[in-house]
Structure 1
Amino acid sequence: MRNLFTIIAFLFLFAESAFAQGILNPEKFRQYVTFGYNLGASAPFGLPNTIRQINSYSPAFTPSLGYEINYDFSDQWSLGTGIRFDLKGMHVKDSVQYFRTLITVKSDNGEEGSFEGDFSGTNETSSRNGYLTVPISAGYHVNSWQFKGGIYLAYLIQSKFEGNVSNGYIRKGGSLGEKVLIDHATFDFADEVNNFDFGVHFGAERSLAKRWGLGLTGQIGLRPLFPSSFQGVGYHLYNMFVTVGGSYRLFD
């Protein structure tokens, strides 16, 4: 979090210095309120062979709301940044085989036990993580269109990553371990989600009126959702989302 605030403070100090030296023209700044809905998943790059079939998928309630400021260097080129709150999540149900995980099983007498190993059966996962995001982007304007691309930095402020496994079995410790039948068991990895995420973003927006715009922005995380030391998921997951939304210009 300290690093994120350091970057924000640096950007403001740079702008203030540029104003003082006459490098930046205040009339070339554009400020927006941005809003949208994030659609996507925390998923691996490529479907691993442990996932045999995706049975269902649905997005979680994942809105995005923020503030953006852009500076026009010319009629076509601009540079922008801002800050926004992003929720990113999903609900997915799949059939897996030898899926590495860590589950909690409750016995008939109420006692709980944990098993780490390779599970085969049905897996159901729900996630919804909230981030404070700082995008930095370059824009190119053509008529009523603006194309943007750059990087983003995000700090986790709330996390949810939980689910259950059922109708299968787990091999304790690995694929050759003791076989334990699993009727139903749960997992909760919210505390294991990395506090910091970064990645690239790219998109396009069309001006609909003097102040309104509508567009799409794709975001691809480059840092795994969980640290490499975490063994609850057998492969790296990355935030991969598309934001459907728009913007409203605050001042002329």
Structure 2
Amino acid sequence: MKKYILASLAVLLFSINIINAQSTENKGLIWSALHGLDYTFKAGVNIGGTSPLPLPKEIRDIESYSPGLAITLEGNITKWLDIQKKWGISLGIRLDSKDMTTEAAVKNYGMEIFNEIGGKVEGLWTGGVKTKVKMSLLTIPVLANYKISNRWKLVAGPYFSYMMDGDFSGHVYEGHLRSPDATGDRVNFTGDNIATYDFSDNLRNFQWGLQVGGEWKAYKHLNVHADLTWGLNDIFKKDFTTISFAMYPIYLNIGFGYAF
């Protein structure tokens, strides 16, 4: 939480500096225009999920999906590379959040659950799994910009994220666990009998991926944007082997921006 607050303050200070530098009557606006610089403050929401691609054989059915409230705040600077302002490159800093809850039916799914006396039992789970994934990240997008027209712009490029807080936890229900492998002892869970798990400590801090999207200029200073971000590295650390497949965050960010 402390890291999240500090990051929020960093984005806020970045945006305040943009506002101060871009007062319509000060010299900073004239200087920026002469040097092909644009400044934007953006706010939006992330809608999507963290998933293996393609779905492995262990996951037999997705029974429910619920996106959480995942708000984003971003300040960015765009440097135009030509006089017509058709091609440019932008650098930003974004306070990211990604949030979802799913329920799935699985078979022989790698699992490490807490037993009734507080210990852990590892094995293969068959039955229901409810998972909550929530991450707070500080993200730096580096994007190429191309203006189709005075109102429409396309962006694409890599992003780099540092996870400040992360939660990957849930519980299993209506099924059985075989430990340590598929031929091991069977423990049944039925009715209200559940067991919890928590893989939060195994989440990777550094993430990266690709971002592609577009922006529409609604008014002189107001823009509307939609950006797809696709993680390219596993959210779990390399030495984490309980879940045998990689998982990637894939989110659509929708929001608006104010151009100074």
- TM-score if structure 2 supplies the norm length? 0.83
The RMSD of aligned alpha carbons is 1.3
Aligned twin of 1:201: 211
Q: Which runs of 5+ in 1 are unaligned?
A: 1-24
Aligned twin of 1:136: 142
Question: Do residues 166 (structure 1) and 173 (structure 2) align?
Answer: yes
Please give the alpha-carbon distance, in whole angstroms, between the structure 2 residues aligned to 1:227 and 1:193: 6
Percent of aligned positions with the same letter in both sequences? Answer: 29
Please give the alpha-carbon distance, in whole angstroms, between the structure 2 residues aligned to 1:105 and 1:245: 43
Please give the alpha-carbon distance, in whole angstroms, between the structure 1 residues aligned to 2:194 and 2:111: 14
- TM-score if structure 1 supplies the norm length? 0.86
Which of 60, 85, 93 aligns to 1:83? It is 93
Which of 73, 81, 102 aligns to 1:73? It is 81
Aligned twin of 2:10: none
**Per the alignment, in what secondary structure is the counterpart of residue 83 of structure 1?**
strand
Which of 2, 27, 44 aligns to 1:36? It is 44
Counterparts of 1:1-252 in structure 2, within 5 Å, are 26-27=32-33, 28-74=36-82, 75=84, 76-106=86-116, 111-143=117-149, 144-182=151-189, 183-249=193-259, 251=260
Shift of 1:161: 1.1
CA deviation string 1:105-153 (max 9, x = no partner): 22xxxx2231111100100001110000000000100111100000000
**Per the alignment, in what secondary structure is the counterpart of residue 112 of structure 1?**
coil
Do the aligned residues in 1 keep the contact of 2:71 with 2:96 (CA within 8 Å)? Answer: yes
Do the aligned residues in 2 keep the contact of 1:194 with 1:227 (CA within 8 Å)? Answer: yes
Q: Which runs of 5+ in 2 are unaligned?
A: 1-30
Shift of 1:26: 3.1
Do the aligned residues in 2 keep the contact of 1:201 with 1:220 (CA within 8 Å)? Answer: yes
Do the aligned residues in 2 keep the contact of 1:115 with 1:172 (CA within 8 Å)? Answer: yes
**Per the alignment, in what secondary structure is the counterpart of residue 160 of structure 1?**
strand
Please give the alpha-carbon distance, in whole angstroms, between the structure 2 residues aligned to 1:178 and 1:128: 33
CA deviation string 1:12-31 (max 9, x = no partner): xxxxxxxxxxxxx7321110
Shift of 1:101: 1.3
Please give the alpha-carbon distance, in whole angstroms, between the structure 2 residues aligned to 1:112 and 1:197: 32
Do the aligned residues in 1 keep the contact of 2:226 with 2:255 (CA within 8 Å)? Answer: yes
Shift of 1:231: 2.4
Do the aligned residues in 2 keep the contact of 1:101 with 1:234 (CA within 8 Å)? Answer: no
